[in-house]
């Protein structure tokens, strides 16, 4: 019985530590994941949202992508159909980043209304599983 | 052929339905004729699914673009090798492959075990049949691979270039084999629970099946890492993406089971827990499919969002209710035969091993589902990324690594001080020496020092077992050392195969710890210009841009950029990274351009060069150069792990171990045999 009690104490210690690590991990690294519309609502009601990093899931507007290879800067408009923001990203874009692709950008919305992204992910949803062409 | 395939699917559905009823009735009534009927139905379903698969393969190879699936994933100019892999490039084909694999493993399990476990087999057949019914029904009602289009396109849309990679040919089927073969242990667990035959018989029946699933899953995961590393060009192999996590979760619970099953075999403890782990592993493999197919979690890898995900959710809930319901029903029959006697014992080490594995699984599941949880609780989606997973799992993983060394050597029941001293004095010495040495060379990352020190600890425990075991055989039987080593492994495959798996795990941990020293450089170079990149080992890579060339190759238009590389002043080669624009049969561009990475790897580190693009059509190129220490160890660690798994899995000629030999096993082979 004593060994069992000791194991339970040890187990509780492990679980407690993990619980703490998970809670602090979420607190420190958790990031809001918003659509442009939600982001607009958030900053509208609470200006401190300009200072926190957020993830924004949106779609790259067709024809808006502008790449400057020399400075490795990419600008484009990201939209969810209602609200849209111009995005500025410095770095290499993934191969799948192209017109009308779903993107997830992580960064900060600037008070001037541009979204400065530090990471840019492009989904390859329509790639692995091609959507059949609708010929009507 | 597609009509034939379609008909085969429908007949398979009907027969599987029959088998799922008759299997359970046969189990209840013990009527041998019904049992034979259930068994033959499973074999028939297997045959029909082979025909259906042949039908789809035929359509793919003959370019029957009237079939929607063929048009969606292949094109005339796709190399045959990849046309073959298009079978499972999409969801519909994957479902067919899954159903085929489940019925194959189910049939094999029936053939192998029907004489040994006559009370269990009807229920096993019935459970397998229900799983097959689910897959086939999903196909014929929601996602039929033989669906035809109203017209015939001149050419198909082609296969995503990122999937045109050898890694992608082998990675998905391996993962599917791992995911689906866990159906067999699950079916045995259900059979044992329903029939009430809960002695260790069913455990013996499924131990090897679980090991097989685990082995496939391990290979699938490592191949997936390799594919991501060489093909996607972001410089890493694991990103804690939901799809990756989905494959990792059942791997964790299966690993836990493979350890805790030993406690039940030896000491009659953890019976409920073991059934729970098998049911949990099966549920997690279905869950993985659900989250990736339903679109409830957004993933960079996401597949098409379709209603198939919801089929999986319903099936997941049903399987959970049945699995855990039966477990609750048989709860009183699953009492432990022994109690934990000491914290310093093998039982305690294994209990902690299980606890840690399950806690890791829970934290990964929690992190993966956190966007859904936070949206449900607080109304806003919050995502957690790699920092969360690393923060939680690095300490847990290192604790697990410590247990990897302790568990196999510490005595059962209660370890004496003499046992501890005998088994652990050298490993502990190796651990301290390693830590001190790494401290002296000023390794900058504390976690990495801990990882390498613990790695040394485990390696020495394993080496000690091999040395002592071989020495004992040499003295007792007068065998030469090499022969003694081979016989030692051959006669105790499970034990020494396990040690080899542990060595593979140490190699993987060594590689993961190396990630702390990864560096990225982005640079723009004109032809002739060069850049210096410092390696964590202290020497410098001197990389000179040679220029850009363009040409057509196979089904793509290639823009290639080359660099000459010297390391510490010595020329090591020219590396070429490509941007590939794939073309369809008419020579028009199709899909986005993809990148071919240039990698120079050795035991110490990889130099990983990505050509990111040319500046305004000139020969000025943008590169991303990554130094990735110890990546080689991931691939070879995976290989060692697979070899260890195979050794353990390999059937023993002499059948079950006699009791007298089994006695000799506790606390190290040599403790009793030698000395």
Question: DSSP 3-state assignment of B627?
Answer: strand
pLDDT at B546 (0 to 100) = 94
pLDDT tens for residues B586-630? 778 877 778 889 999 999 999 999 998 888 778 899 899 999 999
Position with higher pLDDT, B307 vs B166: B166
Best-predicted range by mean pLDDT (A22-36, A78-92, B497-511, B657-671) = B497-511
What is chain B's mean pLDDT, rounded? Answer: 89
Task: Let me know: does B206 contact B265? Beta carbons within 8 Å.
Answer: no
Which chain B residues are within 8 Å of A22, Cβ to Cβ? 363, 366-367, 388, 392
What strands lie across the sheet with B530-534, from one edge to the other?
B530-534, B540-553, B556-567, B570-582, B594-596
C-beta neighbour count of B441 within 10 angstroms:
7
Q: Are the CB atoms for A22 and B392 separated by under 8 Å?
A: yes
Three-state SS at B171:
helix
Cα–Cα distance measured from residue B307 to residue B138, given in angstroms and rounded to the nearest whole number: 10
Total residue length of chain B:
675
Tell me what the mean pLDDT of segment A91-117 comes to: 85
Q: Which class for B567: exposed (0-12), middle (13-18), buried (19 or more C-beta within 10 A)?
A: buried
pLDDT above 60 for B660: no
Q: Which residues pair with B550 in a beta bridge?
A: B559
Q: For residue B104, what pLDDT is reported? A: 95
Q: HEC string of B446-473? A: HHHHHHHHHHHHHHHHHHHHHHHHHHHH
Nearest by CB to B300, from A31, A123, A135: name it: A123
Q: Is B626 helix (H, G, I), strand (E, B) or coil?
A: strand
The pLDDT, as a whole number, for residue B169 is: 84
**pLDDT for B371:** 87
pLDDT at B43: 97
% of chain B residues with pLDDT over 90: 60
User: Does any CB of chain A come closer than 8 Å to the CB of residue B233?
Assistant: yes
Residue B657: the pLDDT is 45
Q: What is the mean pLDDT of residues A64-76?
A: 84
Range list of β-strands (E), chain A? 31-34, 54-60, 66-68, 73-79, 84-90, 102-109, 115-122
Quote the pLDDT of residue A124: 59
pLDDT score, position B436: 95
Lowest pLDDT segment from B55-64, B239-248, B587-596 = B587-596
Residue B136 has pLDDT above 50, yes or no: yes
Segment B561-580 shows an average pLDDT of 93
Q: Do B524 and A31 touch (CB under 8 A)?
A: no
DSSP lists the bridge partners of residue B564 as B544, B574
pTM to 2 decimal places: 0.90
Query: Is the predicted pLDDT of residue A135 greater than 70, yes or no?
Result: no
Q: Which residue has the higher pLDDT, B645 or B89?
A: B645
HSE-CB at B256 with a 13 A cutoff on CA atoms is 28
Q: Is the pLDDT of residue B370 over 60?
A: yes
Test B380 with A32 for CB contact under 8 angstroms.
yes
Q: So what's the pLDDT on residue A131?
A: 35
Over residues B43-67, the mean pLDDT reads 95
A134: distance to nearest CA of chain B, Å? 10
Domain regions of chain B by residue span: 405-515+636-673, 517-632
Position B301 scores a pLDDT of 56
Q: Does position B665 have pLDDT exceeding 50, yes or no? A: no
What pLDDT score does B501 carry? 97
Give the pLDDT confidence score for residue B294 in this predicted structure: 64
Query: How confident is the model over B74-87, as a mean pLDDT?
Result: 88
Residues 54-73 of A with CB under 8 A from B: 55, 57, 67, 69-70, 72
CATH of B517-632, one of 2.60.40, 2.70.70, 2.60.98, 1.10.1060: 2.60.98
Asked if the C-beta of B403 comes within 8 angstroms of chain A's C-beta atoms, the answer is no
Geometric angle at alpha carbon B546, from B542 and B549, rounded to 5°: 145
Q: What pLDDT does A111 receive?
A: 86
Residues of chain B with Cβ-Cβ distance to A21 below 8 Å are 363, 391-392, 395
Contact yes or no for B370 and A30 at CB 8 A: yes
The residues, any chain, with a CB within 8 Å of residue B264's CB and separated by 6 or more, are B200, B203, B270, B271, B274
- Indicate the DSSP class of residue B146: T
**pLDDT for the residue B354:** 95
Contact predicate A129/A92, CB 8 Å = no
Grade residue B99 by pLDDT with cuts at 50, 70 and 90.
very high
For residue B659, name the pLDDT band (cuts at 50, 70, 90): very low
Above 90 in pLDDT, residue B11?
Answer: yes
The pLDDT score that the predictor gives to residue B642 is 96
Least confident of A61-75, B243-257, B321-335, B541-555: A61-75
Q: Is the pLDDT of residue B234 over 50?
A: yes
Evaluate if residue B675 carries a pLDDT over 70.
no
pLDDT at position B655 is 47
Looking at residue B77, what is its pLDDT?
A: 86
pLDDT at residue B673 greater than cutoff 50: no
Residue B200 has a pLDDT of: 81
Q: What is the pLDDT of residues B513-524, one digit of tens each?
A: 999 999 999 899
Sign of the dihedral defined by the CA atoms of residues A95, A101, A106, A109, in that order? positive
Q: B residues 54-83 near A, CB within 8 Å?
A: 68, 71-73
> Does B667 have pLDDT greater than 70?
no
- The chain A residue lying nearest B580, using CA atoms, is A95
B533's tokens: 């990149």
Residue A104's pLDDT band (cuts 50, 70, 90): confident
């Amino acid at each position: 019985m004593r060994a069992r009690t000791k194991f339970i104490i040890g187990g509780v210690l492990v679980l407690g530590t993990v619980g703490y690590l998970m809670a602090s991990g979420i607190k420190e690294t958790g990031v809001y994941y918003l659509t442009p519309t939600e982001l607009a609502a958030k900053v509208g009601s609470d200006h401190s949202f300009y200072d926190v990093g957020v993830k924004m899931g949106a779609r790259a507007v067709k024809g808006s992508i502008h790449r400057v290879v020399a400075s490795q800067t990419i600008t484009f408009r990201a939209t969810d159909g209602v609200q849209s923001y111009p995005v500025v990203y410095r770095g290499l874009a993934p191969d799948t980043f192209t017109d009308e692709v779903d993107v997830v950008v992580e960064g900060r919305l600037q008070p001037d209304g541009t979204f400065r992204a530090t990471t840019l992910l492009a989904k390859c949803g329509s790639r692995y599983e091609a959507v059949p062409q609708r010929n009507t | 052929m597609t009509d034939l395939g379609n008909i085969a699917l429908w007949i398979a559905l009907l027969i599987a339905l029959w088998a799922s009823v008759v299997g359970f009735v046969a189990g209840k009534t013990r009527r041998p004729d019904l049992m034979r009927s259930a068994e033959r139905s499973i074999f028939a379903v297997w045959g029909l699914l082979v025909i259906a698969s042949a039908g789809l393969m035929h359509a793919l190879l003959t370019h029957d673009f009237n079939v929607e699936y063929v048009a969606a994933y292949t094109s005339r100019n796709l190399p045959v090798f990849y046309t073959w892999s298009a079978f499972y490039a999409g969801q519909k084909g994957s479902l067919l492959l899954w159903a085929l694999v489940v019925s194959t493993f189910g049939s094999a399990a029936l053939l192998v075990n029907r004489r040994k476990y006559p009370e269990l087999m009807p229920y096993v057949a019935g459970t397998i049949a229900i799983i097959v019914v689910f897959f086939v029904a999903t196909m014929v009602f929601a996602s039929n691979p033989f669906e035809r289009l109203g017209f015939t396109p001149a050419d198909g849309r082609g296969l995503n270039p990122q999937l045109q990679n050898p890694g992608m040919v082998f990675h998905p089927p391996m993962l599917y084999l791992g995911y689906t073969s866990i159906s067999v242990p699950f079916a045995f667990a259900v059979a044992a629970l329903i029939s009430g035959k809960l002695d260790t018989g069913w455990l013996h029946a499924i131990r090897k099946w679980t090991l097989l699933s685990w082995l496939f899953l391990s290979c699938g995961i490592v191949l997936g890492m390799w594919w991501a590393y060489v093909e996607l060009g972001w410089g890493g192999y694991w990103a804690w993406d939901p799809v990756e996590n989905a494959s990792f979760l059942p791997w964790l619970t299966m690993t836990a089971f493979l350890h805790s099953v030993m406690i039940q075999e030896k000491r009659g403890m953890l019976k409920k827990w073991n059934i729970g782990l098998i049911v949990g592993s099966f549920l997690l493999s279905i869950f993985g499919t659900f989250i990736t197919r339903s679109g409830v979690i957004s993933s960079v890898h996401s597949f098409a969002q379709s209603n198939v995900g919801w089929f999986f959710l319903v099936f997941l809930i049903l399987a959970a209710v049945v699995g855990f319901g039966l477990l609750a029903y048989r709860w009183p029959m699953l009492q432990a035969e022994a109690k934990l006697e000491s914290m310093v014992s093998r039982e305690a080490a294994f209990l902690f091993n299980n606890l840690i594995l399950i806690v890791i699984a829970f934290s990964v599941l929690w992190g993966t589902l956190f966007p859904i949880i936070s949206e449900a609780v607080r109304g806003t989606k919050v995502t957690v990324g790699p920092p969360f997973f690393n923060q939680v799992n690095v300490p847990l993983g290192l604790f697990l690594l410590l247990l990897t060394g302790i568990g196999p050597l510490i005595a059962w029941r209660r370890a004496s001080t003499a046992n501890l001293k005998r088994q652990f004095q050298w490993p502990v010495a190796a651990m301290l020496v390693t830590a001190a040495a790494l401290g002296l060379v000023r390794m900058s990352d504390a976690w990495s020092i801990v990882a390498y020190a613990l790695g040394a600890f485990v390696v020495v425990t394993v080496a000690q077992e091999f040395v002592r075991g071989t020495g004992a055989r040499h003295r007792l039987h007068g065998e030469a050392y090499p022969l003694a080593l081979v016989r030692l492994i051959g006669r105790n495959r499970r034990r020494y195969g396990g040690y080899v798996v542990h060595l593979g795990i140490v190699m993987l941990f060594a590689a993961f710890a190396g990630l702390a020293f990864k560096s990225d450089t982005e640079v723009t170079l004109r032809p002739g210009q060069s850049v210096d990149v410092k390696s964590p080992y202290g020497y410098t890579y001197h990389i000179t841009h040679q220029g850009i060339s363009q040409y057509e190759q196979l089904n793509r238009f290639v823009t290639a950029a080359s660099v000459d590389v010297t390391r510490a002043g010595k020329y090591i080669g020219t590396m070429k990274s490509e941007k590939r624009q794939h073309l369809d049969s008419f020579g028009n561009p199709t899909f986005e351009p993809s990148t071919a990475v240039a990698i120079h790897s050795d035991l110490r580190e990889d130099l990983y060069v990505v050509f990111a693009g040319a500046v305004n059509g000139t020969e000025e190129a943008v590169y991303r150069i990554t130094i990735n220490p110890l990546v080689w160890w991931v691939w070879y660690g995976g290989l060692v792990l697979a070899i260890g798994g195979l050794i353990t899995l390999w059937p023993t000629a002499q059948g079950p171990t006699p009791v007298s030999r089994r006695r000799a096993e506790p606390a190290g082979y040599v403790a009793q045999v030698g000395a």
